[in-house]
Chain A
Amino acid sequence: MKLRQLDEQRWEIAREGGMRVPGIVYASRAMMQDLRDEPALTQVANVAHLPGIVRASLAMPDIHWGYGFPIGGVAAVDEEEGVVSPGGVGYDINCGVRLMTTKLAVDDVRPRLRKVAEQLQRDIPAGVGASHAIGTLDADETRRVLQNGAAWAVERGFGTAADLERTEEGGRLAWAEPRLVSDTAVRRGGDQVGTLGSGNHFIEVDRVEEIFDAERAAAFGLFAGQLCLLIHSGSRGLGYQVCDDNLMAMDAAMARYGIAVPDRQLACAPVGSPEGRRYLGAMAAAANFAWANRQTMMGLAQRALMRVLAISDDELGAALLWDVCHNIAKRERHTVDGGERSLLVHRKGATRAFGPGAAELPAAYRALGQPVMIPGDMGRASYVLCGTARAMRETFGSSCHGAGRVLSRKAALRQAKGRRIDVELRAQGVEVLSRATKTLAEEMPEAYKDVSQVVDVMHDAGVTLKVARLRPVAVVKG
């Protein structure tokens, strides 16, 4: 593989073999030193083989080894000539993050943070197979969730219509086709609305620690010392089943379309083919499920905060700042080589980061650019960023999605042996709760890159600008 440094933040993997475009990786020199021996760079090159891919196979600085696509990968394909790959979206369709702001200052509630975390853990089921946050939905009702997305949750009292305006796509992909979601997937999702799941999913209570951009922070409703809530989750078992159902079909269909890819997890089909249309209709429905899930969790979290802090809705002053998805394929229009084209943009562990003026943004944010939330690890920081015009030119309006792992779970468990991660974090002022002690070890701060270095790469590249840094003060892990 021929790797060439383009500038301080960008590296090019030269086209060779069956690559249709080059690879472009955003990384600092130090990050690239660590990446050189990682299979993730090969995965960037593999993605460049996809038929119809436009401009480059991109990777953000939180890149790490995935399956098929690297985590942190972005690939835009021409809607007419390109393919859709479920591996370019991932199993957890519309895994994403939402940030809820409040009127509260962390310092005013600090003695009760442990109780806050305990209440959140009681009210929002977490862990593998977590279920029954709001009871079990029958198949018809689950399909209504798949059709209506976040609006389904708002109609049932979890949040307000204003939340929908501050959710990517209004919390609903209109081209969803719930009938294309298998009965098995629907059954898996029926009792999982309002549940967190496991692994790296979390609810994080944050304190706004530093404001970098006063104008944007004010527009986003952020102030120093503020208590915010960050929710990271996705489409749960339903999304996994949709991905599985369609990967198998595409793997079998590729030969029929004369498509060869270097990794079977990149199984794909032309966007307009029956397999492609079936996947996209089902994927959009699963994305809607994820938005309903996060909207419901936010509603449950608001009630938990009001209960444990004994305050009113008005005193809490909860508002959704923004909800982004970071595992998705979206139909978007972008300028490529001077002309506007209809593209299908795969973001696998990457966040949409539209710049100022984008018609897709709500009026409150349109002049400034889209908020982008970047969770870090449990101990260090999370960030609020803002999309730029440069993101539109270089990355199809995309940025990173998190810190990115550096340690395997096995290595993390080895390093955590004999330690109490929860006690260590409490000593740093972070209350952490998890149903499984192993999860805390696997997810300990050292298992991740320093998120500050990751967002600095994107900031210095001019792709997303830093608006605020948040510091975790309480975390409920899945």
Chain B
Amino acid sequence: MKIEAPISYRELDHTADVAIEIDGAGEEEVYARAALALGQMLAGGGPMTQQVERTLEPAGHDRVSQLVGLCRDVLAAFYDERLILCAIDVRLGPPFAATGWFTRWDPARHQEGVDVKAVTYGGARFEPEGDGWRARLIFDI
């Protein structure tokens, strides 16, 4: 199922970095919302028009490493090609994969974007929560 930005997520207080918490009815939704949260941080309120489509095949051997892997691929697209994720369709597989739709970074219009430098395993979680799922991630900035 394709999910588009903007989505809502919780930002938790963290002294040096950015910690987020994401809820979803299903696992695919949590992966998608985490990746889009990263996209929104990079966009900094700038436009998120879907201009480029890419297939993502993240590394990972369990939910947490797949979550970290997916967000790392989204960040790599930013650093390698200056692309910001705007929409995503996650497939649990196997293999775990996603189709992402990106906008091109514009230094003038995305200047308030957060300087996310890495997606960490620190405190990372991906667990059932009530009737759905919940994940936590810390981004190094």
Interface residues of A (CB under 8 A from B): 38-40, 64-68, 71, 87, 91-92, 127-129, 184, 187-188, 198-199, 237, 240, 243-244, 247-248, 251-252, 263-265, 267, 405-411, 436, 438
Residues of A within 8 A of B65 (CB): 248, 251-252
Interface residues of B (CB under 8 A from A): 11, 13-18, 59, 61, 64-65, 68-69, 72, 76, 79-80, 82, 111-113, 115, 117-118, 120-124, 138, 140-141
Residues of B within 8 A of A40 (CB): 15
CA distance A52 to B82 in the complex (A): 42
Q: Known contacts A408-B15, A436-B111; can you find 19 more A-B pairs with CB under 8 A?
A: A39-B123, A40-B15, A66-B122, A67-B140, A91-B118, A91-B120, A92-B117, A188-B80, A237-B79, A240-B140, A247-B121, A248-B59, A251-B65, A252-B61, A265-B124, A406-B15, A408-B13, A408-B14, A408-B16
In the bound complex, do residue B16 and residue A91 qualify as a contact, i.e. CB atoms below 8 Å apart?
no
In the bound complex, do residue A409 and residue B115 qualify as a contact, i.e. CB atoms below 8 Å apart?
no
B67–chain A nearest beta-carbon distance, Å: 11
In the bound complex, do residue A244 and residue B118 qualify as a contact, i.e. CB atoms below 8 Å apart?
yes
The contact sample of 22 A-B pairs, CB cut-off 8 A, is: A38-B15, A64-B15, A65-B16, A67-B17, A67-B122, A68-B120, A71-B16, A87-B121, A128-B115, A129-B79, A188-B79, A199-B117, A237-B79, A263-B121, A265-B124, A405-B16, A406-B15, A408-B13, A408-B15, A408-B16, A409-B18, A411-B13
In the bound complex, do residue A198 and residue B115 qualify as a contact, i.e. CB atoms below 8 Å apart?
yes
A440–chain B nearest beta-carbon distance, Å: 13
A33–chain B nearest beta-carbon distance, Å: 16
CA distance A247 to B121 in the complex (A): 9
In the bound complex, do residue B16 and residue A263 qualify as a contact, i.e. CB atoms below 8 Å apart?
no
In the bound complex, do residue B120 and residue A67 qualify as a contact, i.e. CB atoms below 8 Å apart?
yes
Q: How many A-B residue pairs have CB under 8 A?
A: 93
Residues of B within 8 A of A87 (CB): 121-122
In the bound complex, do residue B118 and residue A187 qualify as a contact, i.e. CB atoms below 8 Å apart?
no
CA distance A33 to B121 in the complex (A): 28
CA distance A66 to B14 in the complex (A): 9
Which of A67, A92, A248, A252 is the one whose CB lies under 8 Å from B123? A67
A314–chain B nearest beta-carbon distance, Å: 39
In the bound complex, do residue B16 and residue A251 qualify as a contact, i.e. CB atoms below 8 Å apart?
no
In the bound complex, do residue B117 and residue A91 qualify as a contact, i.e. CB atoms below 8 Å apart?
yes
* SS of B interface (majority): mixed
Residues of A within 8 A of B69 (CB): 248
A243 and B118 in contact, given A38-B15, A408-B14, A438-B112 (Cβ under 8 angstroms): yes
Which among B13, B16, B68, B121 has the greatest number of chain A C-beta atoms within 10 A?
B16
Residues of B within 8 A of A127 (CB): 115
For the complex of A and B, 5 pairs with smallest distance between CB atoms: A67-B122, A265-B122, A264-B121, A128-B115, A67-B120
In the bound complex, do residue A68 and residue B79 qualify as a contact, i.e. CB atoms below 8 Å apart?
no
B11–chain A nearest beta-carbon distance, Å: 6
Residues of B within 8 A of A410 (CB): 11, 13, 18
B94–chain A nearest beta-carbon distance, Å: 16
Residues of A within 8 A of B122 (CB): 66-68, 87, 263-265
A289–chain B nearest beta-carbon distance, Å: 15
In the bound complex, do residue A67 and residue B138 qualify as a contact, i.e. CB atoms below 8 Å apart?
yes
Closest to A407 in B: B15
B72–chain A nearest beta-carbon distance, Å: 6
In the bound complex, do residue A199 and residue B115 qualify as a contact, i.e. CB atoms below 8 Å apart?
yes
In the bound complex, do residue A251 and residue B121 qualify as a contact, i.e. CB atoms below 8 Å apart?
yes
Closest to A442 in B: B141
CA distance A17 to B88 in the complex (A): 42
Which among A92, A187, A263, A409 has the greatest number of chain B C-beta atoms within 10 A?
A409
A257–chain B nearest beta-carbon distance, Å: 16
A451–chain B nearest beta-carbon distance, Å: 16
CA distance A252 to B64 in the complex (A): 12
Closest to A248 in B: B59
Residues of A within 8 A of B120 (CB): 67-68, 91, 265
Which of B112, B118, B124 is the one whose CB lies under 8 Å from A264? B124
CA distance A64 to B111 in the complex (A): 28
Residues of B within 8 A of A243 (CB): 118
B119–chain A nearest beta-carbon distance, Å: 8
Which among A65, A188, A240 has the greatest number of chain B C-beta atoms within 10 A?
A65
CA distance A274 to B118 in the complex (A): 24
Closest to A64 in B: B15
Which among B15, B76, B122, B138 has the greatest number of chain A C-beta atoms within 10 A?
B15
CA distance A2 to B16 in the complex (A): 25
B83–chain A nearest beta-carbon distance, Å: 12
CA distance A252 to B140 in the complex (A): 21
Which among A67, A244, A267 has the greatest number of chain B C-beta atoms within 10 A?
A67
CA distance A128 to B75 in the complex (A): 12
Residues of B within 8 A of A184 (CB): 76, 80
CA distance A39 to B13 in the complex (A): 12
In the bound complex, do residue B80 and residue A187 qualify as a contact, i.e. CB atoms below 8 Å apart?
yes
CA distance A63 to B13 in the complex (A): 17
